[in-house]
Structure 1
Amino acid sequence: MYIFSMKLTQQDMARILGITPMTLRNWRKEKPNLYKIIMQGFAFDEAIEEAKKNYEKLETLRECVVKK
């Protein structure tokens, strides 16, 4: 699992996938469905990480309210 703290560049994504950035760009043009699936996978991972951060914030708020 990869932890995202910001948007990844195509170079970052290519490195994670073990391919060259050129391959990723070629897939975008020549294999749009594959590229779309890959981008959705990265977006999903990002959404999961954001949800975890939000949960932690909510848990901290809850703890503050319970202590009072």
Structure 2
Amino acid sequence: MEQFLLTKTGKKQIDIKGTGMDHNEIVFTLAATLVGYSKELGLTKAILNESMYVLWKDGE
């Protein structure tokens, strides 16, 4: 079973625990979710770009 759990650990931080997915699959899923819900979450293009950069950078 594939799943991941997001836990808020600070005002602007979350902890991510994935089961059944590798790092790249988790990053792709989070990126797709951020893009899909960006308007509902009130994310500006700048915040979205910064979030994507951090997600992809951590995977290198």
After TM superposition, the score normalised by the length of structure 2 is: 0.40
User: Quick check: which one's strand share is greater?
Assistant: 2
- Please tell me whether Structure 1 or Structure 2 has the larger radius of gyration of its CA atoms: 1
User: Quick check: which one's helix share is greater?
Assistant: 1
Q: Which has the higher contact order (CA 8 A, sep 6+)?
A: 1
